[in-house]
């Protein structure tokens, strides 16, 4: 007996000691925190009622969003809460109404100016608010008389008396369960965004109130379901990005859409510039709302997406054709007769009809990390529009440029080049505008310094300089502007983002010079390149005629 007892006790003691020891709980904690981060918790209808309502409260007026606007920085606020706009100077591009005026962002972590054109009602968030208001109205009308008591927790942000630590406590009573009562309190303007609430409740009422809250939330989820699906992939929106016209898609879906067209898929408005989606902020309100309401579905979606992405962008997946220069939005015609390239073409046709076009690096100039490789490392992704196979097996293909990229790594597959690539994108429109304002407000320079002079021109004038040059050359019947060329490439685009690509496609200068456009990250930078070509051509100091064949082969 004694022996057994002592063994039992010592075991017990050891366990007890470990449990209570500080080292053990310190070791436990990091794990728990990690777990919490990787799987965001769903907010519970009853226990997290206050946090749920905060998801749809405007940080400016503290009321539930009314006609919410999502700003380019990803923050949302009511349209009526937008600050007054002011005129801007030194911004000429893009010259459309609503970009000359801007407002100062009221969110501290942003503090930038936003063009009024970028501040439109967020269609998705607005529909969500309408659905919430409907559900709240329905449940308010059927709510019993038993009110929910809400106690405002006194804090520095939210003094309940003259002194922050005032003893006086404020209570509110509203019917409908915690969720409805809290939302109604916010709608009445009595619940500050940062205000916390206590819900003192008699334990007898707790169960029924919990049941009511669960019903309200499941009703809400049901009616929100269709609003939070992406219009392109029909999945729950993942990393939602909102365009200036107020339409929201998954970041990846919007990227894909923009590869093919510069129009919003929902309203068809022209998206002024290909937004640099890498830096485009997430719609924070929507993102938090989705995380709070359907964290599990979202996590599953994110996992599936990561897998897809892995498969797609795995190492060396992109077929590369080392041949010539291509430009976004411009056609390139190719004649393909070597079997290895016909194989590449067929594989591209079987998948997404895309392959990367790279220029041949004859003198093996070093290409960044890649060193002296047989191609220039900036290229353009081409989409195959149509192919025609001749009787001798030669393929004639028509392609259109999608986007620019840089080769990060490369290899060969069945005789043709393959690589892993990263996209080259323009900076955001706001950054573009900031750069223009900065450069054009520099003090003027003495005549004669071409580079400095061009650098100070407004983006609008840089474009006009290009278009005027084209018009002048056309009036002189320049051979590179013959009808045949215009039939293929179209008239000079009025869109400043695209004009340089068109210009480079038709102008007979060396490909090495044109190649400079592929690594630019602003519309201005591209227009400065084209402006320098024009200045040099006009000063007759520089002209390197070379054929600009529309049919290339390797």
Partner 1 sequence: MSAPLPKRIIKETERLQNEPVPGISAQPHDDNARYFDVMVEGPGGSCYEGGVFNLELFLPDDYPMCPPRIRFLTRIYHPNIDRLGRICLDVLKNNWSPALQIRTILLSIQALLGAPNPEDPLNEAVAKQWKENQSEAIETAREWTKLYAQKN
Quick note: the x/- pattern for Zn ion over 21-60, rule CB under 5 A, is: -------------------------------------x-x
β partners of residue 102: 86, 115
Q: Find the binding residues for Zn ion in span 265-284 (CB under 5 A).
A: 266-267
Among 52, 56, 71, 316, binds Zn ion (CB under 5 A): 71
Which range binds Zn ion by CB under 5 A, 13-21, 200-208, 226-234, 405-413? 226-234
Residues 485 and 19: their CA atoms lie apart, in Å, by 81
Among 102, 253, 384, 421, binds Zn ion (CB under 5 A): 253
Where along the sequence are the contacts to partner 1 (CB under 8 A)? 231-235, 253, 256-257, 259-261, 263, 265-266, 268, 350-353
Count other C-beta atoms under 10 Å from residue 4's C-beta.
8
Whole-angstrom CA distances from 112 to 115, 142, 353 are 10, 45, 40
Q: Smaller CB distance to partner 1: residue 266 or 473?
A: 266
Name which of 70 and 330 has its Cβ closer to Zn ion.
70
Binds 250: which of Zn ion, partner 1, none (CB < 5-8 Å by kind): Zn ion
263 makes contact, choosing from partner 1, Zn ion, none, with CB < 5 to 8 Å by partner type, with partner 1
82 binds, options partner 1, Zn ion, none, Cβ within 5 to 8 A by partner type: none
Among Zn ion, partner 1, none, what does residue 353 contact (CB within 5–8 Å per kind)?
A: partner 1
Angle at which helices 499-506 and 523-538 pack, to 10 degrees? 40
Partner touching 58 among partner 1, Zn ion, none, CB below 5 to 8 Å by kind: Zn ion
| Of 17 and 308, CB closest to partner 1 | 308
| Choices 69-77, 88-96, 355-363, 407-415 (CB under 5 A): range interacting with Zn ion | 69-77
Alpha-carbon gap, residue 64 to 230, rounded angstroms: 24
Contact partner at residue 358 from Zn ion, partner 1, none, CB < 5 to 8 Å by partner kind:
none
Select the binding partner of residue 265 from Zn ion, partner 1, none (C-beta < 5 to 8 A, by kind): partner 1
Minimum distance from residue 71 beta carbon to partner 1 (Å):
23
Interface with Zn ion, residue 230, by CB under 5 A: yes
Nearer to Zn ion, 94 or 401 (CB): 94
49 binds, among partner 1, Zn ion, none (CB under 5 to 8 A by kind): none
* Phi-psi label, residue 371: left if phi above 0, alpha if psi -120 to 50, beta otherwise: left
Residue with tokens 């003192």: 200
Q: Are 532 and 451 in contact (CB under 8 A)?
A: yes
Q: Does 247 bind Zn ion (CB under 5 A)?
A: yes
Q: How far is CA 159 from CA 54, 151, 167, 170, 540, in A?
A: 19, 13, 10, 10, 74
State both tokens at 517. Answer: 């456009």
Cis peptide, bond prior to residue 94, ω within 30 of zero: yes
- Establish if 78 lies at the interface with Zn ion (CB under 5 A): yes
Cβ 254 to partner 1 shortest distance, Å: 10
What is the bridge-based pairing of β-strands 85-87 and 76-78? unpaired
Residue 129 interacting entry, from partner 1, Zn ion, none, C-beta within 5 to 8 Å by type: none
**In the 8-state DSSP scheme, what is residue 273?**
S
What is the CA 476 to chain-centroid distance, rounded?
44
Of the two residues 11 and 312, which places its CB atom closer to partner 1 in the complex? 312
- 50-76 burial, b at 16+ Cβ within 10 Å, e below that, comes to bebbbbbbbbbbbbbbbebbbbbbbbb
| Reduced DSSP (H G I as helix, E B as strand, rest coil) percent helix, strand, coil of the chain, to 5 | 45, 20, 35
Q: Which member of 53, 191, 250, 497 binds Zn ion (CB under 5 A)?
A: 250
Is 403:380 a contact under the CB 8 Å cutoff?
A: yes
Residues that bind Zn ion (CB under 5 A): 58, 60-61, 71, 73, 78, 81, 105, 110, 230, 232-233, 245, 247, 250, 253, 264, 266-267
């Amino acid at each position: 007996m004694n022996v057994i007892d002592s063994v039992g006790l010592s075991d017990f003691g050891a366990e007890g000691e470990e449990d209570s020891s500080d080292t053990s709980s310190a070791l436990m904690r990091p794990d728990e925190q990690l777990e919490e981060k990787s799987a965001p918790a769903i907010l519970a209808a009853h226990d997290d009622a206050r946090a749920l309502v905060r998801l749809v409260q405007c940080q400016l007026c503290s009321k539930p969003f009314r006609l919410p606007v999502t700003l380019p920085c990803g923050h949302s606020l009511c349209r009526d809460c937008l600050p007054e706009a002011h005129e801007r100077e030194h911004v000429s591009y893009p010259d459309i109404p609503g970009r000359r005026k801007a407002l100062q962002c009221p969110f501290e972590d942003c503090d930038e100016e936003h063009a009024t054109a970028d501040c439109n009602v967020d269609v998705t968030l607005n529909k969500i608010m309408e659905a919430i208001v409907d559900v709240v109205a329905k449940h308010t009308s059927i709510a019993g008389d038993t009110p929910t008591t809400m106690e405002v927790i006194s804090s520095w942000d939210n003094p309940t008396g003259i002194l922050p630590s005032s003893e006086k406590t404020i209570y509110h009573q509203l019917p409908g369960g915690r969720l409805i009562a809290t939302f109604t309190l916010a709608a009445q303007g009595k619940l500050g965004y940062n205000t916390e609430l206590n819900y003192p409740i008699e334990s007898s009422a707790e169960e029924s109130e919990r049941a009511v809250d669960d019903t309200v939330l499941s009703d809400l989820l049901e009616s929100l379901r269709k609003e939070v699906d992406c219009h392109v992939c029909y999945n729950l929106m993942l990393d939602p990005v909102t365009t200036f016209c107020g339409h929201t898609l998954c970041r990846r879906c919007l990227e894909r859409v923009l590869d093919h067209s510069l129009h919003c898929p929902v309203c068809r408005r022209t998206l002024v510039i290909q937004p640099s989606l890498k830096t485009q902020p997430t719609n924070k309100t929507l993102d938090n709302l989705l995380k709070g309401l359907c964290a599990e579905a979202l996590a599953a979606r994110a996992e599936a997406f990561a897998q897809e992405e892995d498969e797609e962008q795995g190492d060396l997946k992109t077929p590369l054709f080392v041949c010539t220069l291509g430009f976004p939005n411009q056609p390139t015609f190719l004649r393909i007769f070597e079997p290895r390239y016909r194989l590449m073409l067929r594989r591209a046709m079987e998948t997404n009809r895309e392959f990367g076009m790279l220029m041949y690096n004859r003198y093996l100039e070093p290409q960044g990390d890649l060193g002296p490789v047989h191609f220039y490392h900036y290229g353009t992704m081409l989409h195959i529009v149509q192919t025609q196979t001749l009787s001798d097996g030669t393929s004639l293909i028509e392609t259109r440029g999608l986007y620019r990229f840089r080769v990060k790594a490369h290899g060969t597959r069945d005789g043709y080049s393959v690589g892993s690539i990263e996209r080259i994108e323009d900076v955001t429109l706001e950054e573009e505008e900031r750069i223009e304002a900065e450069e054009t407000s520099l003090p003027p320079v003495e005549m004669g310094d071409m580079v400095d002079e061009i650098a100070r021109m407004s983006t609008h004038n840089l474009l006009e300089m290009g278009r005027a040059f084209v018009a002048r050359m056309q009036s002189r019947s320049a051979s590179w502007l013959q009808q045949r060329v215009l039939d293929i490439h179209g008239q000079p685009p009025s869109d400043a983002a695209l004009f340089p690509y068109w210009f480079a496609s038709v102008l007979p200068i060396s490909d090495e010079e044109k190649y400079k456009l592929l690594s630019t990250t602003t519309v201005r930078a591209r227009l400065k390149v084209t402006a320098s070509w024009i200045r040099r051509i006009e000063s007759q100091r520089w002209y390197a005629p070379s054929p600009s064949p529309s049919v290339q082969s390797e």
